[in-house]
Amino acid sequence: MLHNRKIIVILPAYNAEKTLQKTVEEIPFHIVDTVILTDDYSQDKTVEIAKKIGIDYVIEHQKNKGYGANQKTCYKKALELEADIIIMLHPDYQYTPKLIPAMCELITNQTFDVVLGSRILSKGALQGGMPLYKYISNRILTFIQNILLQQKLSEYHTGYRCFNAEVLRKINFEKNSDDFVFDNELLAQLIFQKTKIGEISCPAKYFEEASSINFKRSIIYGLGVLRVSIAYFFHQLGVVKNNLFE
């Protein structure tokens, strides 16, 4: 069923020179048609390596705009190229690209509209090196989010996501933050649209070269996640309207 779908992998990159090639080498090009990398003004050789290994589209930001802005550029380009399925994959080799066929199959057979690669469904998150404080905060935030968003997801914070492109065309993701909370705003928008969201167990690797935000940024991110979930909850109740969901 995958052969007649245009499948595009997007790589939002920042200082990924040490892991980019390993990530791309595992992409299953027998089903993936196009790869797009957007570089958010890296200070290393990410762009040089991306061009050297033959990534189809390498888009360079002329200043650092933020993780959310980086994704916006990627999604806009993929939709411009008329993708049917879009996979967002971090190029830091934390997530295995080998799950792409399984994730895409769940989209093409109409089981789900969005598939998340969950580090929590299996017991491998801590074994893979996830810092304990990040694991605990992930579990607490996810518990609160499931209550406020009325969902039963195992995590909202994965950087590995597969979309039916049609659901992204219905979302005004340009309204969203240019920072890390973009991911959660997008999920909340999709949930508001009653999008069918599923998960697949994904082993994750944590090592020195893998991207990770520091403790201070993690706190800011966590507060942003709570803000988005509370805004969704009150918007649903009709108490306080929020333009993210309009």
Tokens representing residue 14 in the block: 């920042």
Strands (E), the chain: 7-13, 34-39, 57-60, 85-89, 114-118, 160-164, 197-201
Q: Which neighbouring-strand residues pair with 12? A: 38
Q: What is the mean pLDDT of residues 62-68?
A: 97
The least confident of 30-39, 75-84, 122-131, 141-150 is 122-131
Going by pLDDT thresholds of 50, 70 and 90, the confidence category of residue 246 is: confident
Model pTM score: 0.95
pLDDT above 70 (res 217): yes
- Structural domains in the chain (count): 1
Going by pLDDT thresholds of 50, 70 and 90, the confidence category of residue 207 is: low
Could you give the CA distance from residue 222 to residue 81 in angstroms, rounded to a whole number?
A: 34
Q: Domain containing 76: what range?
A: 2-245
Q: What is the CATH number of the domain that holds 168?
A: 3.90.550.10
* β-pair type (160-164, 85-89): antiparallel
